Structure 1
Amino acid sequence: MPQIHELSGVEQAAAVRRGELRSIDLVEHYLTRIAAHSDTVGAFVTVTPDAAREQARVLDEVPFASRERRHPGPLYGVPVAIKDLTLTAGVRTTFGSAAFVDHVPSVDADVVRLLRAAGTVSLGKTTAAELGCALYTEGEVAPPARNPWDLTCTAGGSSGGAAAAVAAGLVPFAQGSDGGGSNRIPAALCGLVGYKPTRGLVSGGPLGAGGFGLPSHGPIARTVTDAAALLDAMAVPVPGEPYLPPAAPPGTPLAAGDHLAAGGYLAAARAADPGRLRIGRFTTPMLADEPVHPDCLAAVDTAAALLADAGHDVVEVPAPLGPQLWPLFETIWYVLALSPVPPQRQAQLLPLTRLLRERGQAISAATLVTTLSELQVQVRRAMHAVAGLDLLLCPTLSRPQAPVGWFTETGDPAEDFDRQRRFSPYCAVFNVTGQPSVSVPVADSAAGQPVGVLLTGQAGADATVLAAAAQLEQRAGRTGRHPEIWWADGSATVKASEPQRAGGAATSRTSDIR
């Protein structure tokens, strides 16, 4: 029998529904792998084994006839991980910072509550860049997030721990957040699917003011179908959000606890049939005048050929925005770094964070308002330019990898920040526009490391983006590829015993730890 982590998250849930596995089997398997490999790849900052076991046992005790009513959807009993920037009631949330090393929130983020309502089981908190400020994850509260494909390289950020955990087989999928590429950058580096939803699709509550519309919670997964299933669980409308959600595809739950019909984003991904699309392809960097690595250009060539072969019209187009956007974006990024930090703890912040906050404090209200107005002018122009296109195709990054410590090696936080801009000159544009955007692995670099491309759709067209991403994923044929650590010792193989009977309680099982 395959090891549990060889199954996708959706497959694991199906095994639970069939009575072949229990939620506690999944939890124990992944806890064993976390204990063996988390520090190696810098995946988790906080692990919650007791809470996970208890939640799994409660789920396993629910009679089969009651499960769909109490926890609708295709993720029942499957473990997940929560990014350390995301509030979790009663569970330490450090925001990736030594300044918050002992911080324990009293409330859950809406997305945490919704994932629990879908029947997922949190195993803990994944490492994140300090206050979400960087595209790498190298802080002082946990080991650096390393790329499971090459431990000398970064897993990216700010959702670096989430990507490291998924790629190493420590969790089937993970919640992340993306304010400037923070899901898509780690996904591209680690050979995963990283998704940023349309602005307003996923609640950012219950606290916070919306970050000027830049950040959004989203999934990091090994497959597009797993990402879509996780998105279905997250994309439940919540009253009071500052941005109205787009219309949902058929079958998407309208409230937490609603039954998920045979539809939603998972159905779109499973069908992998977006219809014939007009796809605009470009490779010109948008936020920096930066040479693009040949491996990243080749990945776009590969994706374009695969999409054209699927029947789509792939046409060369100019980049919708250019380097003139950068001064506007960086102004907003400086202001976003001004998260409340106790004065007595500000000295514990990393040099980059301190620099961004210093620059943010120097920005006047008038400058901020003017910047936001000019950003909207730029967005309007860009949306008019791409109005006749269903999707945009471009590189995710300007180069395939970066070594751990490369961004900070000069000791100058200003140089660190500029290197980040040049390394990722594409992703943040689509946080500004609010469009749905996904990184999909399609090729290998000359060094054998995964390389992703971005597919970006029209606002609200998340189902189309996911269907096209699934189609591209199928044609690229890379879902069975894993880094060496995937096969390392410290994993569990569950022996299936008597299937659970419909309507009955969970039966006992045994696990072998190899």
Structure 2
Amino acid sequence: MTQLHELDATAQAAALRAREVSSVELVRHHLDRIAAHDGTLGAFVTVTADQALMRAAEADERIAGGAAPPYAGVPTAFKDLTFTKDTRTSMGSAAMRDFVPPVNAYVVDLVEQAGFISLGKTNAPEFGLSSYTDNDLVGPARTPWDTTRNAGGSSGGAAAAVAAGLVPLAPGSDGGGSIRIPASACGIFGFKPSRGRVSAGPLGSDWSGLAGDGPLTRTVRDAAALLDAMAHPEPGDVRPLPEPPVPYATWVGREPRRLRIARWSRTHLEGISPSGESIAAWEQASLVLESLGHDVVDVDNPFPQELEPQFNVIWSSGIASAPIPAEADAALRPNTRYWRDRGRRATAVDLSRAMQFLELTTRQVITDLQPYDAFLTPTLAMPPQPVEWFNESGDPAEDHHRELQFTPYTALYNMSGQPAASLPLHWTAEGLPVGVMLAGLPGEDGPLFSLCAQVEAAAPWRDRRPPGFA
């Protein structure tokens, strides 16, 4: 018999509409799973059980009245970097442990308007700065495939929760790979939309053009549905893309034409190479794409190494300008102080040059990539790593170097603004998930969904679940 948490969000919504289950039952089932498993996983910072059950009862009334939104009563959870009114949002930082935002992020309002019910706030590293999830509030988020290993970051709690069936899907955010990295480490699907697809308002800022929100799910159709809820431009957005003319859920049902897909596995960073498992996943994905009739073409990595130091100027300037009270300095983690101090050393001229370099360089890259429809690389250069691996040296500079060894691919698409997805197509002999990344041209989120859905149908993964979390 299928358990409720084995259903994806689309199937859960259908069961609710058919009155096969109530939202109160569905929410309580997932809250029970959080209580049973989160002590092992570290997926949540805050659980809002009473609020969720109250909203579930309201959803049941709306469903009975026939006037409910499409995902009324389906559980989800918001990342602890995403502002949620009247709910603690600590930004993964002990310095912010009691912060309660005065308003919701627009993305929270949009997801809740679609009917989803939040069960709480998912774990994230301090201010989302790292590609692994650990903090001084609840500790690390762990992949359910091997709980000695980190879930990846910065949306690690969200990915772990989805992979373990604590929620069917969850929004994440991605400024350098923070959706795709944990999707790979947790064996689920993660989609970073094109720049400007999802609003950062009303109080958030995408001044650098690097970050955006997107879905973490077990199925491509759920990711499309969640992005359909999120992808609406709001007043004052700096880089808004227009309302999608065709829902992404419709794109999932469309068979893509024969595509020309460029692939590369060499990183743009000297001295950093992908592991054998990352190459095996990439080769496996290439065979699947070719079996579907697509032309897969080997090309050189089009992104130059010079992007890395310029990206670091922008990344560090962001945390250096964050309004963190001086008295909170002692509560910050060494990694946060490392990036803040780097940002403080950068001048306004340094920042301006870095932003112009990224814009001009990635514009040329995208121009050169016009003959192709999609792009295939590994998601990560390594399988999920032990919890202590990233910062065991105690040296934040070594921490940063290990992050580059782990994830040399994902941030490139934040710089270029392209949509990109991590697909869980490969597992090691030890049972660790290793994702592959498919990307599209800027603004081509819909065609990328079609391709991902086609790959999912040819090499399905939805029923593969981590042992111990069935």
* TM-score normalised by the chain length of structure 1: 0.90
**Quick one: distance in 2 between partners of 1:421 and 1:150?**
22
Aligned position for 1:395: 378
Counting only pairs closer than 5 Å after superposition, residues 116-135 of structure 1 correspond to structure 2 as 116-135=112-131
Q: Which runs of 5+ in 1 are unaligned?
A: 251-263, 488-514
Asked if structure 1 preserves the Cα contact closer than 8 Å seen for 2:233 and 2:242, the reply is no
* RMSD of aligned residue pairs (Cα, Å): 1.2
What do residues 45-77 of structure 1 show as CA deviations (whole Å, max 9, x unaligned)? 000011101111111111545425xx2x3x221
| 1:181 is the counterpart of 2:183 | no
More displaced, 477-486 or 350-359? Answer: 477-486
In structure 2, give the amino acid aligned to 1:11.
A
- How far is the alpha carbon of 1:342 from its aligned partner? 1.0
1:34 counterpart residue number: 34
Matched with 2:313 is: 331
* Aligned partner letter, 2:49: P
**C-alpha deviation, 1:202, in angstroms:** 0.5
Find the residue that maps to 1:327 and give its secondary structure: helix
| Cα distance in 2 between the residues matched to 1:416 and 1:324 | 20
Retained in 2: the 8 A contact 1:287–1:426? no
- C-alpha distance 49-349 of structure 1, shift in aligned 2 (>3 A): same
In structure 2, the partner of 1:201 is: 197
1:355 aligned residue: 338
- The equivalent residue for 1:379 is 362
| Residue 276 of structure 1 pairs with residue 258 of structure 2 | yes
Return the alpha-carbon distance in structure 2 between the equivalents of residues 60 and 145 of structure 1: 32
Cross-structure match for 2:283: 301
Partner of residue 409 from structure 1, selected from 381, 392, 400: 392
Q: For the residues of structure 2 that align with 1:211 and 1:307, how far apart are their CA atoms?
A: 36
Show CA shifts across 1:294-315 (max 9, x none).
1111111111111111111111
**1:287, 1:325 within 8 Å by CA — same for their partners in 2?**
no
Paired residue secondary structure (1:486): coil
Q: Which amino acid counterpart does residue 149 of structure 2 have in structure 1?
A: C
Residue 116 of structure 1 aligns to a residue in which SS? helix
Alignment of 1:77-476 (within 5 A): 77-246=73-242, 248-250=244-246, 264-271=247-254, 273-338=255-320, 339-476=322-459
CA contact (8 A) 1:288 1:422 kept: no
8 Å CA contact 2:232, 2:243 repeated in 1: no
CA distance in 1, matches of 2:323, 2:75: 31
Instruction: Tell me if the contact between 1:23 and 1:77 (Cα under 8 Å) persists in the aligned partners.
Output: yes
Give the counterpart letter for 1:317 in structure 2. V
SS state of the match for residue 468, structure 2?
A: helix
Code of the aligned partner of 1:215: A
SS in 1 for 2:149: strand
Secondary structure of the corresponding residue to residue 241 of structure 2: coil
Structure 1, 153-162 or 322-331: larger mean CA deviation: 322-331
Residue type of the alignment partner of 2:4: I
Q: Which moved more, 1:367-376 or 1:56-65?
A: 56-65
Quote the residue 1:512 is aligned against. none
Shift of 1:246: 4.5
TM superposition outliers: structure 1 runs of 4+ over 4 Å: none
Report the secondary structure of 1:279's partner residue: strand
Instruction: Report the AA paired with residue 360 of structure 1.
Output: G
Contact (CA 8 Å) 2:261, 2:296: kept in 1 or not? yes
Amino acid at match of 1:327: P
Hey, what's the Cα distance between the residues in 2 that align with 1:476 and 1:300?
14
* Contact kept in structure 1, 2:63 and 2:72, CA below 8 Å: no
Instruction: Give the aligned partner of residue 46 of structure 1.
Output: 46
Give the Å deviation of 1:423. Answer: 1.0
Deviations 1:219-250 (A, max 9, x none): 10111111111111111221110102155142
The letter of the residue matching 2:308 is W
Contact 1:306 1:476 in 2 (8 A): yes
1: CA distance between counterparts of 2:269 and 2:250?
A: 35
Distance 1:282 1:446 in 2: 24
Aligned residues: 469
Equivalent residue number for residue 23 of structure 1 = 23
CA distance in 2, matches of 1:355, 1:385: 36
> Contact (CA 8 Å) 1:194, 1:440: kept in 2 or not?
yes
1:89, 1:403 → 2: CA distance?
35
What SS does the aligned partner of 2:67 have? helix
CA shift, 1:288, in A, is: 4.8
In the other structure, the counterpart of 1:5 is 5
Counting aligned pairs with the same residue, the percent is 48
Tell me the secondary structure at the aligned position of residue 165 of structure 2: coil
Does the CA-based 8 Å contact 2:231-2:243 persist in structure 1?
Answer: no
Q: How far apart are the structure 2 equivalents of 1:85 and 1:163?
A: 14
Per-residue CA distance 1:155-187 (angstroms, 9 max, x = gap) = 001001001111111010111100000000000
1:78/1:119 contact within 8 Å kept: yes
Q: Is the 8 A contact 1:295 1:446 kept in 2?
A: no
| TM-score, normalised by the number of residues in structure 2 | 0.98
